[in-house]
Structure 1
Amino acid sequence: MKKMLLLFGLGITIMSAKAQLTPFELSKDKNYTATYAEVMAYYPKLAKQYPQQLKLFNYGITDAGKPLTLAVISKDGVFDPAKIKQQNKRVILINNGIHPGEPEGIDASMMLVRDLLKKNQLPKDVVVCFIVLYNIDGSLNRGLSRVSQNGPRAYGFRGNYRNLDLNRDFIKADSRNALAFMQILNTWQPEVFLDNHASNGSDYQYVMTLIETQKDKQHPVLAQYTSKTLSPELYKRMAKSGFEMTPYVESLKTTPDSGIVAFIETPRFSTGYTVQHNIISYVTETHMLKSYEKKVYATYDFMQHLIDICQRDAKQIGELKYQADEQVKQQQTFALNWSLDEQKYDMISFKGYQAGYKPSDISGLPRLYYDRSKPFTKSIKYYNTYKASVTADKPVAYVIPQAWGKIIDLFKLNKVAMRRLKHDTTLAVQTYYIADYKTGQRPYEGHYLHNGVKLTTLDNNKVKFYEGDYVVYTNQAINRYIVETLEPQGVDSFFAWNFFDSMLSQKEHYSDYVFEDIAFEYLKKHPELQKLLDDEKAKNPQLAKSAGAQLEFVYRNSPFYEQTYMRYPVGRLLNNTQLDLQ
C-alpha cells in the first residue's frame, strides 16, 4: 500500500511537471509556437500555482475585442506600481508578439517566467512585466505569411485586425492595442524596455542580433551607461551562452560587407516611443533562417541576462533614470529628425557568409545568394553616428485648443501634466504657418505622411483661446514626447501623421466679380497695399499678366483672408505669462 501511494505521488509529480511544459517544449521538433488560446491557458495555471509571485493584469480592449494581458513577477509579492517605486525597485517591461510571425519571445517568456518561479530565482530588486502576446489580432490569423523564415511551422500574421503594423503605431495610436500599451507603460513606468522580434534580410552566422537605442539619440546620461556598461555586458554574456551577437544587420548597400548601419528607431516604433520616456530600450532580432529552437533559446538567454544585469545594477539604473528625467525638464533644444553621418564609423568583427550572384532558375537573370559553405570572419564598417538634422527650441508652454481631442487623450495616457484655461483668453503666442510640405503618394499605415515641412513663424500673434483649452508647460520629464509630437517638423509629429489636416484646406473664398469692386475700394483706402502689389508685379511678369492672380494677391494681403488657413493651431507661449488656470 505504501509503495502504491509512493508510485501514485510520483505519477502526480510527473504529471505536474509535464503540465508546466510549454506547447513549444511539448512539440517533438521544437518547431511550434503557442497559439493565443494556449498562451492564455498557460499563464493562469502558472499564476494559480505561484499566487504570491505571479499576477496577471488585463488592460484595455484590443482591436480583436480581447484585453491585453500583462504577467508580472515580483519576489516579495508586491504588485502595486506605486509601492514598487517607493521600494526603489526597478521595473523591466518585455513585449512579445508585436509581430506574431516573430513569436520567439512568446514561447521564451512562458519558459522563463516558469523557470524563475520554479527555481525561486526571482530578482530581489527588479519587478519584471511581460506583455504575453501584444498583437492578439495577428496571432489569431495563423498561417505561413513569412515565407522566407525557417520556422515555426505555423504562426500569426504581421498586421492586426485593422491590418495595421503595430510597430508603426506608437505615435498615431490608431489601434486600441497601442492605447492599452500606453496604459501599461505609464502605469508601471519601467526603467528598461525590451521588444522581442525576428529579422529579415541578409544571411550570416549569428542567431541573435540586437538593436539598442542609437547612442546619439538616447539621453547622454543613459547612453553612457548602455554603450559602456550594459550593452557590452549583454554581448559578453550572450557569447558565453553560445549565442554570440552582432548589431542588427541593416546593410549600407546590398550585403553586410559594405558596412552595416545602426537602426534609428523613430518614435513610431516601440523603442523610439519608449526612449521619449527616458527608458533604456532594446530590440532583439533573431535571424530568420536559424532553426526556431535556437531562436527561442537565444531569446530566453538574452532576457535572463538582461534581468540579471539589471538586478546587479538596479541602484545605478534608478539613479541614471532620475538624472535623465531631471535634465530633460531643463533641456531647451530637442532633435526632431536625424541623419546618418557616413564619414564616421567603427570597425567591428563580423561573421558572415560569402555573397555572390548566379543565374536565377526562374528568370535566368542574376540573383543574389549566400554560400554557407564559405563562412568568413572579417572587419566591416559599422556606421553608428547620427546628427540632428532638424531641431526646435521648446517654448515655456504649448497651448492646445480642446477641439483636438485625440491629442488631449494621448497626452493624458502618457501622464503629460496639463492645466486648463478658466476663461476665454486672448494670448500673444508664437504661431506657425505651414509654408510648404510634401505628402507621400501612397498610404503608409493608413496615413499619407507629411514630410519636408517648412514653417513661417509669427511672433506675438494674438490668438483667442477658450475656456477649457489646455496649457502644457515644458518643465516635465516627458518633454521629449511633448516637443517631438507637437513640433510640426518632427519626423513622427502629430502633424506628420495627419492629425491637423483639416487646417490645410481653405474654407472661404470670394466671387471674382463681387470682390473686384471691394478690392478696388480697399486699395484706394490702403495705398501701402497698392504699392506692395505694384512692386510684386514689377518683380513677377506672370503676376502682371494675370488679373486673377492680382486679385488673389490683394485678397491674401487683406483682412478678408481667413487667418486660420494653414495656421498650426497649437500656440507656443514664449514668456512665462501669468494665466488664470483651472
Structure 2
Amino acid sequence: MKQLLSYLILFVSLSAFAQQTPFELGNRNQTATYDETIAFYKKLAKASPQAKLLTYGSTDIGKPLHLLVLSKNKIFDPAAIRKSNKRIFLINNGIHPGEPEGVDASMMLARDLLKENHLPDDVVICIIPLYNIDGAFNRGNTSRANQNGPEAYGFRGNSKNYDLNRDFIKTDSKNSDAFQQIFNLWQPEIFVDTHTSNGADYQYTMTLIPTQKDKLNPILSGYLTQTMVPSLYSEMQKKGFELIPYINSVKETPEAGITGFLESPRYSTGYAALHNTIGFMPETHMLKPFDKRVESTYLLLRTYIGIVQRDAKIIGENKQKADQAVASQKDFPLNWKLNEQVWDTLVFKGFAAKYKPSTVSGADRLYYDRNEPYTKTIKSWNKFEPQTVVTKPLAYIIPKAWDRVTGLLKLNGVKIHQLAADTELTVDSYYITDYKTATRPFEGHYMHSSVQLRVEKQQLKYYAGDYVVYVDQPQNRYIVETLEPQAMDSFFTWNFFDSILDQKEHYSAYVFEDTATGMLQNNPELRTLLDQEKAKDTALAKNPAAQLEFIYKHSKYHESTHLRYPIARLQDPIKINLK
C-alpha cells in the first residue's frame, strides 16, 4: 500500500511536470484564460514541495490575487527567506491582459524549472500569474487593433475600467491593494512587469524599459547600468533575441532619436523604485508573431534568474546600502525634466519609413517597408534632472481623519506613531497658493499640477490618535513623494485633499462693509497694505468687491483652514507623547 501511494505521488508529479499550456497545445497563437492559468499552477504546486500557490486580498472582480512561489529549499516565509540571505525575484503578468506573453511564458518557466530541477540556490522566484483578473475575463480579439495575435485575449481596463498600470499610488482598485500587500510583504530586490509595445516598426522582438537610472538610488543605478543591463543585452543576443531600449521616438519615426521613459510612481516600476527595488518593463513588439513574443519573454525571464543568481550577493548588499542611504537622505527630488543637451548614441536596426497616399483620406500616410531593413546609429536622450527638490522634515503630522492616507502608508511598510494625548505643536503648514487642474479626467481623476505653496509656521492643536510619521525610514521616498503636494504623483495630485480647496464660510457684503470700515480705522497697517496693493493692481483699484475680499482675507474672520494642506511638517526635535 505504501509503495502504491509512492507510485501515485510520482505519477501526479510527472503528470504535472508534463502538462502543456494552451499556448503549446494549440498553434502557438493562443494565450491561457484565467481559469486555465490558475488550474495549471495549482497542479504544479500540488505536485512539487518546492512550489506553493498563495492568495492575497481580493480584486475588483471578487477573486483573490494569486502568487506562485518557487523555493529550492522549500522555505515560503518571506522573513525567513530574507534571513537566510536569499534574493527575491518578482514577476508580474497580465497587468494589461491584451499583452499576455508573460502569462504563458511564466507558466512554462515555472514548469520547466521544477521539471529540470533548475531552481536557483540563492533566489526565490515569485510569480503573479495574472494581475488584472477582471480584464482577463473581458476576452475578445479586437481591442488591440494593431497587434499580431494571439487569437483571443483580455482587455486593458479592469472591471472598474482602470488601467492598473496607473494605479500604484492612488490605489483606486482592490487589485492594487492586493499587489501592494504582496510587494511589501515579499520585498523583492528585482521586479519584472511583462508588457507588449505599440509604436514604430523595427527589427527587434523585445524592447526594454529599466527603472529610470537617474531616479533610482545611485547605489542601485550603478549596478543596473554598469552590470545588469549589459548582461541582459549580451545574454539575450546569444539567445537570438537582441534587445533595444524601448522606442520612445522623438519624432514620428525612430531615425530622429529616442528618449528614455520617465516612469513616475503611478507605474509599476516607478512604484518599485520608491522601495529601492530595481524594476524592468520588457515590451515585446506588437507586430511580431505571438509565438516569438512568448519565446523571447521566456528566455528573458530565464536570463534574469541567471543574473540574479550570479549576482545574488552584490544585489543583496546594494539593497541594504540603498535602504540605509534613503533612511538618512535629506533632500528628495519631486519632479524631473529631460536634459535635451546630453545624449548617447546607439546602433538601431529598423525598417525604412516611407509615405504613400492614404486610401482613406488621400493624404500622405506613414508605413514601414520591411523589404528595406537598415542599421543606423541614432541618438538616445536619457538623462533626467530634478526640477523640484524638497528637504525632508523631521516628521509629518497627519490628522486621523485622513485615514485613506495613513492606510496606504501602513500598506507600504511605513512605521507610523500616534499621539497619546491632545497636544499643541509648532509646525510648518503649507498653503496652496496656485495650481492647475486638468479639464478632462484621467483614470477617474481631475489631476492637479503646477502646485505653488506658501509656508507658514503655526501652532496647531492635535488630538490623541493623530499620526506622526518620522522621515528616518527606508520608505522615505514613498513617504515624501506621496505627502509633498508638488510631487508628480503625490496624494494631492491625485485629488485626495480636494475638500480643503473649498471655502466653507463667507460674508454678506452689506454687513461686512461696516466691519471692514472698523478694521481699516483700527489697523493702519492694513490700510497701508490695501493702498499698496491698489497701487500695484489697477484691476483691484477699480473693483470694490475685490477690495472688500482683500480685507476679509486679511482678517480674523477668514477661515485659516481654507487652502491649508492638512499634513503639516514638524521641523524641530521635541519630545512627543506617543502611544
Deviation (angstroms), 1:318: 0.4
Q: For the residues of structure 1 that align with 2:80 and 2:41, how far apart are their CA atoms?
A: 24
Which structure 2 residues correspond to residues 164-179 of structure 1 after superposition, within 5 A?
164-179=162-177
- Note the C-alpha offset of 1:470: 0.6
3-state SS in 2 of match to 1:216: coil
Letter in 2 for 1:309: I
Q: TM-score, normalised by structure 2?
A: 0.97
1:21 aligns with 2:20: yes
1:68 aligned partner: 65
Q: What's 2:179 paired with? A: 181
**What letter matches 1:393 in structure 2?**
T
User: Which residue number corresponds to residue 275 of structure 1?
Assistant: 273
Aligned pair count reads 570
Deviation of 1:553 (Å): 0.9
Which amino acid in the other structure matches residue 20 of structure 2?
L
What are the equivalent positions in structure 2 for 1:384-403 lying under 5 Å apart?
384-403=382-401
Q: Which of 492, 508, 515 in structure 2 is aligned with 1:511?
A: 508
Please give the residue correspondences for 1:255-270 in structure 2 after superposition, counting only pairs within 5 Å. Answer: 255-270=253-268
Secondary structure of the residue aligned to 2:103 is: helix
Q: Aligned equivalents of 2:575 and 2:567: distance in 1?
A: 19
Partners of 1:112 and 1:314 in 2: how far apart?
20
- Determine if contact 2:12/2:47 at 8 Å carries over to the other structure: no
Alpha-carbon distance in structure 1 between the residues aligned to 2:275 and 2:17: 41
Instruction: Tell whether the 8 Å contact from 2:333 to 2:390 is kept in structure 1 after alignment.
Output: yes
Could you tell me whether the CA contact under 8 Å between 2:204 and 2:241 is conserved in 1?
yes
Query: SS in structure 2 opposite 1:114?
Result: helix
CA distance in 2, matches of 1:197, 1:541: 56
Are 1:465 and 2:462 an aligned pair?
yes
Who is 1:202 aligned against?
A: 200
In structure 2, how many angstroms separate the alpha carbons of the residues matched to 1:430 and 1:18? 61
Q: In the superposition, relative to structure 1, how do residues 469 and 389 fare at CA in structure 2: closer, same or farther (>3 Å)?
A: same
Name the residue aligned to 2:4: none
In structure 2, how many angstroms separate the alpha carbons of the residues matched to 1:13 and 1:134?
Answer: 28
Asked if residue 230 in structure 1 is aligned to residue 202 in structure 2, the reply is no
Q: Which amino acid aligns with 2:547?
A: Q
1:396-441 CA-partner distances (Å, limit 9, x unpaired)? 1111111111111101100101111111222111111111101111
The alpha-carbon deviation at position 536 of structure 1 amounts to: 1.9
Find the aligned partners of 2:24 and 2:429 in 1 and give their Cα distance.
60
Shift of 1:514: 1.0
Query: How far does residue 534 in structure 1 lie from its aligned partner after superposition?
Result: 2.0
Kindly indicate whether residue 107 of structure 2 is the aligned counterpart of residue 110 of structure 1: yes
Match of 2:117 among 116, 120, 128: 120
Task: Report the CA distance between 1:73 and its aligned residue.
Answer: 0.2
Q: Does 1:540 align with 2:529?
A: no
How far off its partner does 1:198 sit?
A: 0.5
Which whole-Å CA distance do the structure 2 matches of 1:435 and 1:13 have between them?
Answer: 67
Gaps of 5+ in 1: 1-7
% same residue: 58
1:580 equivalent in structure 2:
577
Q: CA offset at residue 17 of structure 1?
A: 7.1
1:241 alignment partner in structure 2: 239
> 2-side partners of 1:107 and 1:381: how far apart?
35
Residue 373 of structure 1 aligns to a residue whose secondary structure is: strand
Q: Distance in 2 between matches of 1:153 and 1:224?
A: 42
**C-alpha deviation, 1:361, in angstroms:** 1.2
| Distance in 2 separating the partners of 1:349 and 1:72 | 38
Q: Distance in 1 between matches of 2:533 and 2:17?
A: 84
Shift in alpha-carbon separation, 1:15–1:573, aligned structure 2, 3 A: closer
Residue 467 (structure 1) shift: 1.1
Moved over 6 A (4+): 12-15
Of 285, 289, 293, the residue aligned with 1:291 is 289
Deviations 1:76-124 (A, max 9, x none): 1000111101101000110000000000000000000000000000010
Shift of 1:500: 0.5
1:406 counterpart letter in structure 2: R
* Residue deviations 1:156-203 (CA, integer Å, cap 9, x gap): 000000000000000000000000000000111111100000000000
Residue 546 of structure 1, CA deviation = 1.9
CA distance in 1 between counterparts of 2:574 and 2:157 reads 47
Note the 1:441-460 alignment, pairs <5 A.
441-458=439-456, 460=457
| Cα distance in 1, alignment partners of residues 321 and 301 from structure 2 | 26
d(CA) in 2 for partners of 1:539 and 1:349? 58
Quote the Cα distance in structure 2 between the aligned partners of 1:538 and 1:308.
Answer: 71
Corresponding position of 2:366: 368
Tell me how large the CA RMSD over aligned residues is.
1.4
Q: CA deviation at 1:18?
A: 8.6
Residues 376-401 of structure 1: CA deviation (Å, up to 9, x unaligned): 01100011101111111100111111
Q: Which string of whole-angstrom CA distances, capped at 9 and with x for unpartnered residues, describes residues 505-550 of structure 1?
A: 1000000111111121222222211221122223323222222111
The one-letter amino acid of 2:209's match is I
Q: Which of 96, 103, 110 matches 1:99?
A: 96
1:216-227 matches, cutoff 5 A:
216-227=214-225
SS of structure 1 residue aligned to 2:389: strand
Q: Equivalent residue for 1:350?
A: 348
* 2:559 pairs with 1:559: no
Q: 1:291 to 1:121 in 2, by over 3 A?
A: same
TM-superposed deviation, 1:15: 9.1
SS in 2 for 1:368: strand
Secondary structure of 1:271's partner?
helix
**Partners in 1 of 2:197 and 2:423 — Cα distance?**
53
Contact 2:17 2:115 in 1 (8 A): no
Distance 1:79 1:17 in 2: 20
* 330-339 or 133-142, which deviates more: 330-339
**2:465 counterpart SS class:** coil
**Deviation readout 1:351-372 (Å, 9 max, x if unpaired):** 0001011101111111110000
Question: Paired residue for 1:334?
Answer: 332
Give SS of 2:366's match: strand
Q: Secondary structure at the match of 2:359?
A: coil
Quote the residue 1:493 is aligned against.
490
Give deviations 1:417-473, integer Å, cap 9, x for gaps. 111111122211111111110111100000001011111111x21122211111111
Q: How many angstroms apart in 1 are the aligned matches of 2:137 and 2:64?
A: 14
Compute the displacement of 1:14 (Å): 13
Structure 2 unmatched ranges of 5 or more: 1-6
CA distance in 2, matches of 1:411, 1:398: 12
Report what 2:147 is aligned to.
149
User: Which amino acid letter does the alignment assign opposite residue 331 of structure 1?
Assistant: Q
Q: What is the one-letter code of the residue matched to 1:276?
A: L
- Structure 2 partner of 1:5: none
TM-score, length basis structure 1: 0.96
Q: Distance in 2 between matches of 1:556 and 1:192?
A: 52
**Matching residue of 1:4:** none
2:16–2:43 CA contact under 8 A, matched in 1: no
